[in-house]
C-alpha cells in the first residue's frame, strides 16, 4: 500500500533554498525549519488536508496548540511558527497557492528572559585574574577586554581580521549576523590590551599555523574556535572566583546594560550591538528599570 504524500512536501526544498539565499539563514536554522515544516505537513495530512489551498487559519492555530501540548520550549514553538508563516507567505508570493492562512495570525509570545550581567568590578576582577606574564595570557586578556569593550558576539570576535582594526580612529569593523557590517568604537584600555597582544604575541603564533589574518590565534597558529574562547573565559572567571553562571556572551549583555545605565541612547546601543530590530535591544531597558527600582527602594525615604 502506497504511503500518502504530504500536502505541499514538494515545496519545502524550494522554500529552504529561498530562505538560504534571500534571508541568509544559517544551516542549523534551515535544518530546524525542515523538521518544523515536515511535522506541520504531517499534522495537516492527519487532519484531512490534501492540498495547501485547503488550509484554514484555524488549522494553523490548532497546530500551534498541538505544539504547546507537547511541552516544547517557547523558543521552539516560536521558531516553528516562523517557519510555517514564512512557508505560506513564500507559496503565496510564488503563486503556488491562492491565499495565506497565517497572514493575520500573531506569533506565540516568547517569555521575556532577562540576560545575566556582570558588575563592572566583576569584569575588572576577571581581567586582573589573567596571568599576563605568559604570552597566551596577554592574548586572553585582550579577548576578554575586547568582548566587553565592543559588545561582540563570539562569532564576530573569532572572525575579526587585522584589516578590520582601525585603532588610530579607536574603531573596529565587525561582520555580524546576516553579513551585516558595522563599525564599533573601542576604548583606550581595550586598545592597549589589543596592541600588546598584536605586536608582542601574535607574530610568533602566526608563524606556527595557517590563518588568513585573523586577529586571535591558537597556540598552533590557527584561528580560535568558539569553544576555545569559551574555555578561555571560563578559566579566568573561575580564577577570579566569579560565582555566577556566565559565558563569553555575558560580556555582550554587560556591555549593553552598562551603557544604558550610564545614560546611553537606545538607538546608539542598537547600532553598536548590530541588532536589526530595536525590539531586540529593548530587553536591556528592563534591566535598566530594575536597576532604577533598586536605587529608588534603597535611597527614597518611602522606597
Could you tell me if 192 and 284 lie in one domain?
yes
C-alpha to C-alpha distance for 289 and 283, rounded to whole angstroms: 10
Active site residues: 153, 177, 249, 252, 275, 284
Could you tell me if 243 and 159 lie in one domain?
yes
Could you tell me if 143 and 278 lie in one domain?
yes
Last residue of a domain, one of 45, 74, 93: 93
Domain membership of residue 295 (yes or no) is yes
> Which CATH number do you get for residue 140?
1.10.443.10
Under DSSP, the state recorded for 223 is B
Using a cut of 0.85, tell me whether the model's pTM lies above it.
no
3-state secondary structure of 174: strand
The one-digit pLDDT tens for each residue of the chain (303 residues) are: 445 678 888 999 999 999 998 888 888 899 999 999 999 999 999 999 999 999 999 999 999 988 888 878 888 888 999 999 999 999 999 999 999 999 888 888 766 666 788 999 999 999 999 999 999 999 999 999 999 999 999 999 999 999 999 999 999 999 888 788 999 999 999 999 999 999 999 999 999 999 999 999 999 999 999 999 999 999 999 999 999 889 999 999 999 989 888 888 888 888 899 887 777 777 776 655 555 556 556 655 564
Could you tell me if 224 and 77 lie in one domain?
no
Query: Domain span at residue 201?
Result: 120-299
Could you tell me if 194 and 292 lie in one domain?
yes
Bridge-based pairing state of the strands 171-175 and 165-166: antiparallel
Could you tell me if 125 and 210 lie in one domain?
yes
Under DSSP, the state recorded for 265 is -
Cβ 81 vs Cβ 64: under 8 Å: yes
> Which CATH number do you get for residue 13?
1.10.150.130
Domain membership of residue 215 (yes or no) is yes
pLDDT of residue 219: 96
Could you tell me if 27 and 78 lie in one domain?
yes
Distance of CA 225 to the CA centre of its chain: 16
List phi, psi (to 5°) of 224: -70, 155
Please give the tally of structural domains in the chain: 2
pLDDT of residue 11: 92
- Side-chain half-sphere of 51: how many Cα atoms within 13 Å? 6
Domain membership of residue 108 (yes or no) is no
Q: Which residues contact 250 (CB under 8 A, 6 or more apart)?
A: 115, 116, 117, 118, 244
298-303: long-range pairs with CB below 8 Å, 24+: none
Could you tell me if 216 and 281 lie in one domain?
yes
Domain membership of residue 103 (yes or no) is no
Last residue of a domain, one of 77, 93, 109: 93
User: Nearest-CA neighbor of 272 among 144, 171, 195, 163?
Assistant: 171
Distance of CA 217 to the CA centre of its chain: 22
Under DSSP, the state recorded for 152 is -
Q: Could you please report the per-residue DSSP string of 21-89?
A: HHS---HHHHHHHHHHHHHHHHHHHHTT--SGGG--HHHHHHHHHHHHHTT--HHHHHHHHHHHHHHHH
C-alpha to C-alpha distance for 216 and 127, rounded to whole angstroms: 17
pLDDT of residue 303: 47
Domain membership of residue 3 (yes or no) is no
User: Nearest-CA neighbor of 91 among 7, 6, 4, 8?
Assistant: 8
Domain membership of residue 241 (yes or no) is yes
pLDDT of residue 2: 46
Could you tell me if 156 and 283 lie in one domain?
yes
Class of residue 115 by CB neighbours under 10 A (exposed 0-12, middle 13-18, buried 19+): middle
Amino acid at each position: 500500500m502506497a504511503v500518502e504524500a504530504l500536502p505541499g512536501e514538494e515545496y519545502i526544498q524550494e522554500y529552504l533554498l529561498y530562505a538560504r539565499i534571500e534571508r541568509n539563514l544559517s544551516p542549523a536554522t534551515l535544518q530546524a525549519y525542515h523538521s518544523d515544516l515536515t511535522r506541520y505537513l504531517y499534522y495537516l495530512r492527519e487532519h484531512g488536508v490534501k492540498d495547501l489551498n485547503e488550509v484554514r487559519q484555524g488549522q494553523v492555530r490548532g497546530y500551534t496548540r498541538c505544539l504547546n501540548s507537547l511541552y516544547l520550549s517557547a523558543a521552539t514553538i516560536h521558531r516553528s511558527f516562523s517557519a510555517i508563516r514564512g512557508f505560506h507567505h513564500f507559496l503565496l508570493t510564488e503563486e503556488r497557492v491562492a491565499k495565506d492562512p497565517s497572514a493575520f495570525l500573531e506569533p506565540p509570545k516568547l517569555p521575556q528572559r532577562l540576560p545575566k550581567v556582570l558588575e563592572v568590578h566583576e569584569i575588572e576582577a576577571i581581567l586582573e585574574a589573567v596571568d599576563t606574564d605568559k604570552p597566551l595570557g596577554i592574548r586572553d586578556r585582550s579577548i576578554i577586554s575586547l568582548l566587553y569593550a565592543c559588545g561582540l558576539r563570539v562569532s564576530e570576535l573569532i572572525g575579526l581580521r587585522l584589516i578590520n582594526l582601525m585603532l588610530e580612529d579607536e574603531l573596529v569593523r565587525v561582520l555580524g549576523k546576516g553579513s551585516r557590517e558595522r563599525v564599533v568604537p573601542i576604548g583606550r584600555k581595550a586598545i592597549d590590551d589589543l596592541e600588546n597582544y598584536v605586536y608582542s604575541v601574535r607574530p610568533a603564533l602566526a608563524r606556527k599555523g595557517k590563518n588568513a589574518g585573523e586577529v586571535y590565534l591558537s597556540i598552533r597558529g590557527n584561528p580560535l574556535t568558539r569553544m576555545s574562547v569559551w574555555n578561555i573565559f571560563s578559566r579566568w572567571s573561575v580564577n577570579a572566583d566569579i560565582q555566577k553562571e556566565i559565558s563569553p556572551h555575558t560580556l555582550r549583555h554587560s556591555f549593553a546594560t552598562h551603557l544604558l545605565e550610564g545614560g546611553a541612547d537606545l538607538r546608539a546601543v542598537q547600532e553598536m550591538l548590530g541588532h536589526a530590530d530595536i525590539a531586540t535591544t529593548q530587553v536591556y531597558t528592563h534591566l535598566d528599570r530594575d536597576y532604577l527600582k533598586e536605587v529608588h527602594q534603597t535611597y527614597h525615604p518611602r522606597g
